[in-house]
Structure formats: C-alpha cells, structure tokens
A and B are shown apart, each in its own frame.
Chain A
Amino acid sequence: MIALFSDPLILGLVLLGTTLGITVGGIPGLTGTMLIALTLPFTFSMQPVEGLVLLVAMYVGAVSGGLISATLLRMPGTPAAVMTTLDGYPMANSGRPGRALGLGMGASLVGGIISWFALWQLSEPMADWSTKLGPFELFSLVILALALLAGVGESTRARGLLAGSLGVLVAMPGMHPATGELRWTMEFTSMNEGFRLIPVLIGMFAIGKILDDILGKAEKVEKVTGKDSAWIPLSDWKKHFVNLIRSSGIGTLIGILPGVGANIGSLAAYVTAKRASKNADEFGKGSEEGIVASESANNATVGGALIPLIALGIPGSVIGAVLLGALIVHGLQPGPLLFRQNPEAVHAIIGTVLVANLMMFLIMLICARWMAKLSLIPKNILFPAVTLCCVWGAYALNGLWFDVIVMFVFGLLGCLMERSKLPLAAFVIGFVLAPVAEENLCAGLMASGGSYIPLLTRPISLCLLVLAGCLLLWKKKESANKA
C-alpha cells in the first residue's frame, strides 16, 4: 500500500480528487454524486487503480467540503452537511467563523480516520453481519431514525412533525417503492419517478434561500465577519474526545447500512450528542459539540459505506453505487473474491480513504482564510452563479427540464416553510426515509403474508422499536419538565 502511494501520479490524483471534491461539496447545488458520475466516463481510459483512487478521493472531499458553505452561508453544500448548518452558522455569525471551520475540519479528519480504521480491519465480518437485517429490521431502523427526528431543530414538536410528514407526503407520488405500481402521477410520465432527491434538495436549500433573500423581509443570512484562527489547539480537542469517538462510531455504523448515507449518519450522531450533552440548550445556537458530532459522523460514513461495497459488492450509499459501477466497468468484481483476485484494488480504495482524509485536512487548513472569503462575495454575483450551478446540476442529473421545474417549485416551498418556521431538515429527512421505510415494510408484509407480528418477534427489530419508543418518551419527559 505504501509503495502505491509513493507514486507521484497516484498522489497527484488523490490531490486532484480531494480538491475537486471539496470545491464541489462547498458549492450548494453541486454534489459529490454528480461530480463522481460526471468523472466516471473519464476514468475509463485510466488504469483501474488510478480511476478508483480519483473517485474515492472525490467522495472524501465532497463529504467534507459541504461544511464550508454550511458554516459561512447556512447553505449545506451537500446533504451530509445539513446538521452542520444548525451550529456552524450561528457560531460563525457570532464572530468566530475560523473556529467553526477549524472544529469542522478537525472533526472531519478524526471521523475519516476512525472509519478508515474500521474499513481496514472490519470489512469482512461487518458486512456479513449486516445481512442479518431483513426488511422488518430495516423498517424499525427507519422508525428509530424518525423518532430521532422529533429532536431536530429549535422549533416546536408539532412543527417538526408537520415538516417531517410533509416530506414523507412529497415522497409518495411516483412508483410505489415496493410493488412498482404508479400512484398520484396525474397521468404525467415525468412524475413516474416522483420528485427526485437532488432537485428537491437543491431547491429547498439553495433556491429557497435565494428566493427568501430576494423577497426581502426574511431573516437575512448575515455576512459572516471575524478573522479568528482555524487552528484548534490539542488541549481543546481533549474535551471533545468522547463525542468524537462516539460520533465517528455512529457514522461508520450507519454508513454500512445500504441506502442510508452521510446525512442520516450526521443526524443520528448530532441528536445522540445532544442527548448526551450537559449543555443541550446550546445545540442549534452555535454549539461546538454539535459541529464536532455532525462533521465527524458524516466523514465516518465514507469508510462505513465502503465496507459492504468492497466485501459484498453492496453499496452503502448513492456514491457507493456509482463506485460499484466503476469497479465493474474496470473489470473488477466486488465481493469476497476481490480480496484474493485484485488485492491492489482493495488496497487502493482503503489507502485512498486515509490519504484523502489527511489531504482534505491540509487543503482546508491552508485555504481556510481564502475559503472564509466565500461569504464576502457580493450577492449579486454569488446568487446568479449559484442559481446557474443549481439549474445545471438539476438538469445534468438526467437531462430533464422537469427536474429543473421541480427544483424551482421546491425552492418556493422551502422559502414558504422557512417563513412559517417549519424546519427544512425534518422535511428532507422525512422525504429521504419515506421510500426506505415503505419499501421495507411492504417487502416484509409480502414475505410474512400480511402479518405485522414479525416486527415484534424478531429480536433486532424489537430492540430498535423499543429504543425508538424510549426516545419519544424521553422527549416527552423533557418537555414536561420544561413546562
């Protein structure tokens, strides 16, 4: 592995991939998935190892880069950074952008390295374990995630639930995720797939923000000022030690699960950190712990998502699915055989996660001052540029103008929701989780002949549901105390 990364070409590719990833991750409207999908054809003419190194480095960079715009502009550059906006922006806005970015970068590095270690050591045994999760277990897992949702953001529970169920509702039109039948499409073929994640997300978070600003009145995203250092002394990291380890662990574990990506990983770690924190009140107002939890967990999902990809050929995330395609195009067959037949490819993937995380940290540390200027770009230049990126991003996904229209409609909805103080994060998470929950519940019911009993008789499923129930009850107690 060391020999591989002493090759300047390989190192150059890691540098290129990480830098591009960070840039794209930092620009709202452009996502890592898009970058990797657009780069994939270019790697066909490369050696398999070179191509994989480039793509994996992009993955690491893209997940990390989102924290810049999340912190400075309150626009998550990637879905993975949604939770970072909650604390990163308030902290930056209170005159400490450097510290907010520094915490995010350091946490990203630690999360990346811990998940790399897991990837290196646990690929085979952990992937084997994850097959124990059947449809009922996965459904219960989503219910647990939705129970966690009740604790997101600073608005009331009714508003959180309304935003969440609106998200679920918006996920309903299109093809039924289990039976493949069509519903609520109004005989309009473009609706067969429903509303796609990328246009909805870009619309809600980027276009919505811009509309909100143009229409005035709204609470403005204030220009972040402050020139404090992004370097966080080691002694400061000591008090975040437990949080870092816990959040990275959660991120890695969630990354392993198929179809659940970095956004859910950072959500789970954030909410857990809030529950465990002595200063839970500070969450959402610029809490250091919140930034650390969200950023270490989202980077940790990268290593996690690659574990089942390498060991079984099962992607743990959307980007993982594109990488799976890259492996196959290059004539490599993921799965247990890969360890024996193409050990160099396995080493390249695992090694890149480590090297790209180190490079990501260095690049972001060196460029922190320059990156902080992102927020100083005047809005009459930034907004048209971001809008263009958004339109291009939504269109390039599938080459359909329908997606662009969807993006603008959701921009309007996002703007309206923001004004009625409905949390956008809850909406998006409900939207993402709904098809996963529905597909698994229906698959379970088809397998059990319509019986719901296995939800309670299967031990893992029961544990998850009990945990979800406890979380909801705990919340109740908390609010009762407050009242």
Chain B
Amino acid sequence: MVRFLRAILIFQLAGIVFSNLCLSSEDTFPSKPITVIVPFAAGGGSDVFVRIFQDSIRRNKLCPQPIVVKNISGAGGTIGSRTAREAEPDGHTILCLHDGIYTAQHYGNADWGPADFEPIAATGQSGVVIAVSENSPFPSLTELIDESILRPYQLVFGTNLGAPNHYSAMFLQKGKEGSKFRFTQTGGGAKRLAQLKGGHVDVTGFSISEYEQFKAAGIRALAVMSEEREPAYPNLPTAKEQGVNAEHGLMQFWWAPRGTPPDRIAYLENLLRRAMNTETIRERLDFLHINPLFIVGDELKKTVEQRSANLNGIIIEKPTSLPPLHWLVLGMTIICGAFVLMERKKA
C-alpha cells in the first residue's frame, strides 16, 4: 500500500514537473526547432557552411532545440530568400545568405533585399582569387588589366552572371580606368575551372576555398581581391598592390524576417557567437579558408549599408545581343503543332 501511494506521489510530482516544463517552454524562446533556410542546393558551399554551425551547436549542446537546415534552392538564391522574407517573424525561421542578397536586388532579379530583413550577424568572409590557366601569357594582374585597356572587350572573363562572382569581376574592371572585359556565363566554380583549363575563357574568379581545391588542376592565381594578403597564400599579392583599386569578398550573413522581436535576435546572435567560439568551427572554417570574422550590432548595420552602397557605382553592360530563343521555340512549337493537325486531318 505504501509502495502504491509512493508510486502515485511520484507520478503526480512527475506530472507537475512536466506541466511546468511545458508552461515554461511556451514563453521562452526557442520553443520549437529553429529552421535555417539555405537558398542553395545541399552540398554547395553555403550549405556546407551552415551545416558546420548546425553540427557545432548540436555537439556542444548550445541550444535546447535542434537546428534544422532547409535547402530551398533555385534562381540564384532568390526563391529561398523570398520564402524566408515571408516566414513568421518569430525567430524560428532564419536565413543564411551571402552577398547574393545584394547582387540579386541590384541585378533586378529580386525586388527585395537586405532592407526586408533584420541582420543577425556576419560570421565569415572568404577572399576572391583572380586566376588564369597555367599557360596563360599574363604573368601578373597588372599585365592582364593593361591588356584589357589596350584591347577592350577582347579578354573573356568567365562569371556567373548576376551572382556575387560577376560583381567581383565588375569591381576588378572598375579598379582601373578604361579596363573592359567581355563577360560570359560559365556557371559555378567547377564549370569555370573546366572552361579556364580548356582555354574557353581567359580569366575567372574563384573563392579561396574553390581555388585551394582546384589549384593543382593547372591554374595560376594572379591576385587576391582582399584588403590584405591572405594568410594561406602569403606570396599572392592583392589587386591593390598591383595597381588595381578593387576589393571584394564573399561575406556570409544570417538574416531574420523583418519584425522579429529584438530579444530573439539577441538570442540568435548570442547562439552564433557561442558557436563561433567553439574549437570545431574554428578548425572547419580554417580548413575552408574562411576568415572567421564576427560582426554584430551597429557595426553589422554599417557593414550591410556599405555593401549595398558599394554596388550603386556598378553599371551593368550587356554588349552582346542574344537571340530571343524563347520566342523562336514558341514559333517552332506552333509550326510543329500545325503539322500534327494537318497529319490528323489526312488520316
């Protein structure tokens, strides 16, 4: 009997504790898993970057709720960023997106931009390397840029049009008066490598970690577009050192939908700060050659404004007129349809 009563008591106690837990979890943040939207496919650079944070937060038990990564890829990141913008601003859905958030708006592919989000933190910067094929005639960036002034629009620059990588190239060209490249679409890093190696483009840009991965495949770096030389490549001069006044890099930002309460932003900011201070993240970012900077608060706001403003000086030129393939295809479909109808009448 005593044992039985004791059992009931324990049950009741457990019940009270449990209901308390439930109550307290309703008014504390986070009360459910935090979803981080990655607007690129699983396995890409941004995905790997976010998963490093996810892994570290889980391993070091920094958050009572799990972090869930949701890949919503497509259209240069704009589909994912729109989904994040329209999410409930309660801090349970956030976005991780690099400079693509500025370039998509500037290029005209999104009518929303950084102003539609509350920045939480910037947690890493990766340098941009300007590279040529190993048998390229240009020994340095100075010679390359001089050639592009001497023969404007002749050197082919492989880029991913509308993406930050395209803007790096445009910043480079803006860095010295009269320099003009012919920009062509070559897609992601691996495609740019193949085109560079095959001699189909004269020059292209890579992030430091892409360059690290590709450098043994027969390419040569001319410059890094960072403010100072990269610690991993102390012998690689910056663009500025070679007389080209250009600076660009890829910074990773975490965004919350506009209207997210400031105390929740502060919580997320703190979570990212604690994750950033763990050994695991330092090691992994170091391996990917991502500079582990950490910017929050007013300085972050200033950085966001400045990076937006930097793009204003860029004018997009479209020198080559391309055939209106979509209309041609529509015409072709109608003609084929007519043929099929004729065939049907005959039969």
Q: Which chain A residues have a beta carbon within 8 Å of chain B's beta carbons?
A: 37, 40-41, 44, 130-135, 156, 158-159, 161-162, 165-166, 168-169, 172, 174-175, 177-184, 189-190, 192-193, 196, 258, 312-315, 321-326, 328-329, 331, 333-337, 398-400, 422, 434, 438-439, 441-443, 445-447, 449-450
Do the beta carbons of B153 and A313 come within 8 Å of each other?
no
B326 and A135: CB pair below 8 A?
no
**Chain B residue at minimal CB-CB distance from A133:** B198
Contacting residues, chain B, for A442 (C-beta < 8 A): 185, 322
Q: Which of A175, A180, A258 contacts B191 (CB 8 A)?
A: A258
Contact with A along B275-310 (1 / 0, CB 8 A): 000000000100100000000000000000000000
A130 to B217, CA, bound (A): 13
Within the complex, the shortest CB–CB distance from A174 to chain B, in Å, comes to 7
User: Which one of B41, B162, B213, B329 contacts A180 once the chains associate, using CB atoms below 8 Å?
Assistant: B162
Whether A314 lies near B190 (C-beta < 8 A) is: yes
Q: Taking the complex as formed, is B203 at the interface, i.e. its CB lies under 8 A from any CB of chain A? A: no
Instruction: Judge whether A168 and B329 touch: CB under 8 Å.
Output: yes
Interface set, chain B 191-208, CB cutoff 8 A to A: 191, 193-195, 197-201
For the complex of A and B, the 6 pairs showing the least CB-CB separation, nearest first, are: A325-B43, A193-B74, A180-B162, A134-B200, A192-B75, A131-B198
Q: Please tell me which stretch of B9-17, B118-126, B236-244, B330-338 contacts chain A, meaning at least 4 of its Cβ atoms lie within 8 angstroms of it.
A: B330-338
**Cβ of B177 to closest chain A Cβ, rounded Å:** 23
- State whether A184 and B162 are in contact (beta carbons under 8 Å apart), knowing that A40-B43, A328-B48 are contacts in the complex: no
A180 touches B42 (CB 8 A): no
Q: Which residue of chain B has the shortest Cβ distance to A324 in the bound complex?
A: B43
Residues 108-120 of chain B, each 1 if its beta carbon lies under 8 Å from chain A, else 0:
1100000000000
Name the residue of chain B whose CB is nearest to the CB of A175. B75
Partner of A192, one of B41, B109, B160, B190: B109
Least CB distance from A449 to B in Å reads 6
Chain B contact-residue range equals: 35 or more
Q: Is the CB of A325 within 8 A of B42?
A: yes
Kindly name the residue among B55, B76, B162, B213 whose own CB sees the greatest number of chain A CB atoms within 10 A.
B213
Contacts of A162 in B (CB 8 A): 333, 336-337, 339-340
Q: Could you say which of B74, B184, B343 contacts A156, with CB atoms under 8 Å apart?
A: B343
Q: List 21 A-B contacts (CB under 8 A).
A: A165-B333, A168-B329, A168-B332, A175-B76, A175-B109, A179-B185, A180-B161, A180-B185, A189-B79, A189-B82, A190-B79, A322-B43, A325-B41, A329-B43, A335-B214, A337-B216, A399-B72, A400-B83, A446-B182, A446-B185, A449-B319
Q: Other than A178-B161, A328-B43, give 9 A-B pairs with Cβ distance below 8 A.
A: A131-B195, A159-B343, A162-B340, A174-B75, A179-B161, A193-B75, A258-B190, A329-B43, A450-B320
A-B contact count (CB 8 A): 188
Residues of A within 8 A of B254 (CB): none
Contacts of A169 in B (CB 8 A): 326, 329-330, 333
**Cα A410 to Cα B320 with chains together (Å):** 35
- Would you call B195 and A134 a contact (CB within 8 A)? yes
B329 CB, nearest partner CB in chain A, Å: 5
User: For the complex, is B71 an interface residue (Cβ under 8 Å from A)?
Assistant: yes
CB distance from B33 to the nearest CB of A (A): 14
Residues A333 and B182 in contact, CB atoms below 8 Å apart: no
Output the residue of B161, B185, B214, B319 with the most chain A CB within 10 A.
B185
Per the bound structure, the CA–CA distance linking A165 and B339 in Å amounts to 13
Whole-angstrom distance between the Cβ of A432 and the nearest chain B Cβ? 14
Question: With A and B bound together, what is the CA distance between A213 and B214 in angstroms?
Answer: 51
CB–CB B190/A325 < 8 A: no
Q: Is the CB of B194 within 8 A of A258?
A: yes
B184 lies within 8 A of A165 (CB) = no
Residue pair A312, B190 in contact (C-beta under 8 Å): yes
CA distance A434 to B332 in the complex (A): 13
Most buried by B among A37, A193, A323, A434: A193
Cβ B193 vs Cβ A312 within 8 A: yes
Q: In residues 242-288 of chain B, which contact A (Cβ within 8 Å)?
A: 284, 287
Q: Which residues of B contact A333 (CB under 8 A)?
A: 212-213
Residues on A with C-beta less than 8 A from B318 are: 179
A329 to B216, CA, bound (A): 20
> A159-B340, A161-B336, A181-B109 are known contacts. Are A336 and B217 too (CB-CB below 8 A)?
yes
Q: Check B185–A178 contact: CB distance below 8 A.
A: yes
Q: Which residue of B lies closest to A157 (CB)?
A: B339
Partner of B193 from the list A165, A184, A313, A331 (CB cut-off 8 Å) is A313
- How distant is the Cα of A125 from the Cα of B266 in the complex, in angstroms? 54
- Cβ distance A114 to chain B, nearest Cβ, rounded Å: 25
B242 to chain A, nearest CB (A): 25
B174 part of interface (Cβ distance < 8 Å): no
Task: Please indicate the chain A residues that have their CB under 8 angstroms from the CB of B216 in the complex.
Answer: 335-337
Complex CA gap A177/B201 in Å reads: 18
CB A436 to nearest CB in B, in angstroms, measures: 11
B186 at the interface (CB under 8 A from A): yes
From B214, which residue of chain A is reached at the shortest CB distance? A335
Bound: A182/B108 CA distance, A: 9
Check if B51 sits within 8 Å of A334, measured CB to CB: no
Closest CB-CB distance, A445 to chain B, in whole Å? 6
Q: How far is the CA of A196 from the CA of B75 in the complex (A)?
A: 11
Complex contacts, B176 vs chain A, CB 8 Å: none
B184 and A443 contacting across the interface, CB-CB below 8 Å:
yes
CB distance from B161 to the nearest CB of A (A): 5
Q: Is the CB of B43 within 8 A of A158?
A: no
- With A438-B325, A447-B156, A449-B320 known as contacts, the answer to whether A400 contacts B72 (CB < 8 A) is yes
The reply to whether B320 and A180 contact each other, CB–CB distance below 8 Å, is no
CA gap between A331 and B212 in the complex, in Å: 12
Smallest CB separation, A472 vs chain B (Å): 15
**CA distance in complex: A446, B158 (Å):** 10
A461 to chain B, nearest CB (A): 12
Nearest neighbor of B188 in chain A, beta-carbon distance: A321
Residues of A within 8 A of B162 (CB): 179-181
Distance between Cα atoms of A190 and B287 in the complex (Å): 36
Complex Cα distance A158/B337, Å? 8
